[in-house]
Structure 1
């Protein structure tokens, strides 16, 4: 199992706490008049964060994580993670973990196996491990 997924699964209940309604990720300012009440937290008057702004915040805050050899002084010139990049990474991990092409297609929402080529590119070590695990018993090397 992906450690990030496991950690996220453990943290999410704490973030949600006992909420049964209202947005979870909020803007820094009060919402403008006329905003739908389902998009506003009544206690604070703050509005739901847009997907675009959430993506910007995520990208900005993952620049050093995405570039571990960079120094903090270079942060403005770096690119952070995006949802799209995480999707590619997740599909690659699934492919390396042995997920079948139909499962990868379902997860990626792609129409053909050929379209998976750009998402799922298992590395050399992963391919060697896959072959070794499936080799007949007499041909296995230990």
Structure 2
């Protein structure tokens, strides 16, 4: 059972106080040491004595860029992940503060190989009794739509076509990218994603009669000083949209075997679903249509057939009487 960390009340929570409270909540000494480097240096950069509520999202991103923008990909991802956990931890406890901005993205290492999970492993994870209905629904939708995590998390109930099992998502566009403050940003377009019976069974249970607001929301209301867009808050419950960082931490919590940060990644749902469709005989063009990739080589990077699938297709080359 994790220790309960009480943050000070009756005064503005400072950056340093929030950082120390987060690090004190971690049980693993190795995690404390590694996270302490990222959180500590970021806190120093943005100002330890400042009220946490006064820090803007872009300040967090700029601090990460200045501190580790020129580092190796794995270093950037580790430091960014630690700060993401810190800001998500504060948000979950109702303390107003910044988030890691969308443009400060996790980078794919040149030598990385995103794992593909078996369909059995996916079904077992989603069927676990200790997994909340919200996570079950999110993971099933990510798997069945082959959509990017940010796309699904941004969906509102008004966007859903429950009968048609589809909805529009705000996807990366093919338009030229623009640069702002030295950061590359992409335009966005609306595209449609489709899901199947698994998500179709879970969605009505998750919504519980709600007809508007974000599909996936937090379990706690945001603090009184938190500034959120009208689209990002359920008007009926007051609950805020579940963030990418929170969703990533929840998946890690249920799949990590060797401590925080060692579990599944949200992007694995997309790779797994595309691979399973390919193993079942879906053509390259159909995989591109399903995933909405514009280039065939990007789909090929996602397609990682299992040894069993390769062995099965190899059997087709056997002599005519070898399969009798």
Q: TM-score, normalised by structure 2?
A: 0.34
Cα 1:45/1:112, change in 2 over 3 Å: closer
Q: Deviations over 1:84-110 (max 9, x none)?
A: 111111111111111111112223333
Structure 2 spans left out of the alignment, 5+ residues: 1-118, 124-139, 145-196
1:119 matched to 2:302? The reply is yes
Query: Segments of 4+ in structure 1 off by > 6 A?
Result: none
> Whose RCO is larger (CA < 8 A, sep 6+)?
2
RMSD of the TM alignment (CA)? 3.1
Structure-1 separation of matches of 2:229 and 2:304: 43
Counterpart secondary structure, 1:111: coil
Aligned partner of 1:49 in structure 2 is 242
Cα 1:57/1:123, change in 2 over 3 Å: closer
Q: Which moved more, 1:40-49 or 1:16-25?
A: 40-49
1:21 matched to 2:212? The reply is yes
Alpha-carbon distance, 1:136 to partner: 9.7
Matched ranges for 1:87-98 at <5 A? 87-98=270-281
Asked if the contact 1:98/1:130 (under 8 Å) is kept, the reply is no
More helix by share: 1
Cα 1:140/1:105, change in 2 over 3 Å: farther
Matched ranges for 1:98-113 at <5 A? 98-113=281-296
Aligned partner of 2:323 in structure 1 is 141
Asked if the contact 1:96/1:122 (under 8 Å) is kept, the reply is yes
Cα 1:105/1:33, change in 2 over 3 Å: closer
